[in-house]
Structure 1
C-alpha cells in the first residue's frame, strides 16, 4: 500500500523477497487446503466403493494423494512457509459441505454422487499438477526446491489424472447413458 509521508511525496513499500515469500505462502497454503479436501474425498470414495473394481482402482490413487499432501508439507517446511491451520480446516470443512449437495436420493448415496466425486478428484489433481509445475519452474532459481522430486510428483499426478479420468468416463456412461436417447 502507498504511504503519504509528511513531505507530501508518495513512497512505495519495498517489494521483493518478503512480498514474494508472503505470496508463495498464500499459494502453498491454498494448495494444502485443496490437498486436504482432495485426500478426504478420495478416502471417502475408496471407503464407499470398497470391494468393487472402482474401489480397487482408486485405493492406490488415494494413498498417493495422501503422500502428495505430505510431500507438499515437506516442501513448505523446506521453504520456511508456515502452515495456516485455518486454511487446512477450511479445506476439510469444504469437502464435508460438498457432500450435502442434492443427489436425487433422500437417504442413501446416489450413483451420480460417484461421478461427481470422480470429477471433483480429477479437477483437484489437475490443480495439484499445476502447483507442481509452478514449483518446478521456481526450482530453476531456488535451490531449496528439488527438481527431481518435483518431476516425480508431476508424473504421479499425471498418472492419477489418467486413472481417475478412465473411471470418471466409465461411471458417467453407466449412470447417465440410460437417460440419454
Structure 2
C-alpha cells in the first residue's frame, strides 16, 4: 500500500466510523420514538449490533495503524442531528413520514457499511493484517440488517401511504 493509498484508506475508514456513530444515534432515537413496539425492539437490537460493528471497525483501524479522527465522528453526529430538521409535514413533531424516511436513511447507511466490509474483504486477500473470516461475518451481519430494515421500511411505507378505505353510507 502506497502512502497515498494508506492516507485515502484512513479517510475512508474514518468516514465510515463517523457514519456508524450517526447510525447508532439514529437507530436509538427511532427505537425510542417508534409507535410499533416490535419495530422498536428490532431497531434497539440493530443499534446494539451497529455499536458492535463500530467497535469492530475501530479494532480493524488499530490493526491497520489508522487513528480515529474525533472531528469526523463529531461531524457525523452533527449530520445526524441536522437530519432531524427535514420536512415531514409536521413542524415540531414526528409524523408517520418520519418513520419511512428514517428507515430509508438507516438502510442506506447499512448498505454503505456493507460496501466498506466488501472493500476491506478484497484488501484482506493481500493484507495479512485483515482477517477475512471476521470480515465475512461482518458482511453477513450487514446483509441481515439490510433485510430487517427493508422489512420495517416496507411496513412503515404501507402504513403511511395506504389509501383510506372508502366510507359506506
Place the TM-score, normalised by the shorter chain, in its bin.
over 0.9
Question: C-alpha separation between the residues in 2 aligned to 1:56 and 1:29?
Answer: 29
Q: Within the alignment, does 1:40 sit opposite 2:25 as a pair?
A: yes
The equivalent position to 1:128 in structure 2, one of 95, 113, 119, is 113
Q: How does 1:53-64 map to 2 (within 5 A)?
A: 53-64=38-49
8 A Cα contact 1:50 1:56, kept in partner:
no
The equivalent position to 1:173 in structure 2, one of 151, 158, 165, is 158
Q: Which residue of 1 aligns with 2:167?
A: none
The equivalent position to 1:157 in structure 2, one of 136, 142, 158, is 142
Q: Which residue of 2 aligns with 1:108?
A: 93
Question: Per the alignment, in what secondary structure is the counterpart of residue 162 of structure 2?
Answer: helix
Q: Deviations over 1:17-36 (max 9, x none)?
A: 21111011011011111111
Change (3 A) 1:102 1:50: closer
Q: TM-score under structure 1 normalisation? A: 0.87
8 A Cα contact 1:139 1:147, kept in partner:
yes
Stretches of structure 1 that go unaligned for 5 or more consecutive residues are 1-15
8 A Cα contact 1:115 1:172, kept in partner:
yes
TM-align CA RMSD:
1.5
Q: Deviations over 1:97-148 (max 9, x none)?
A: 0001121112221111011110000000000000000000000010110001
Moved more, 136-145 or 32-41: 32-41
Aligned residues: 165
Q: How does 1:138-153 map to 2 (within 5 A)?
A: 138-153=123-138
CA apart distance, 1:50: 7.1
CA apart distance, 1:60: 1.1
Q: Which residue of 2 aligns with 1:66?
A: 51
Moved over 2 A (4+): none
Question: C-alpha separation between the residues in 2 aligned to 1:104 and 1:42?
Answer: 21
Q: How does 1:5-24 map to 2 (within 5 A)?
A: 17-24=2-9
Question: C-alpha separation between the residues in 2 aligned to 1:85 and 1:176?
Answer: 40
Q: TM-score under structure 2 normalisation? A: 0.93
Stretches of structure 2 that go unaligned for 5 or more consecutive residues are 165-169
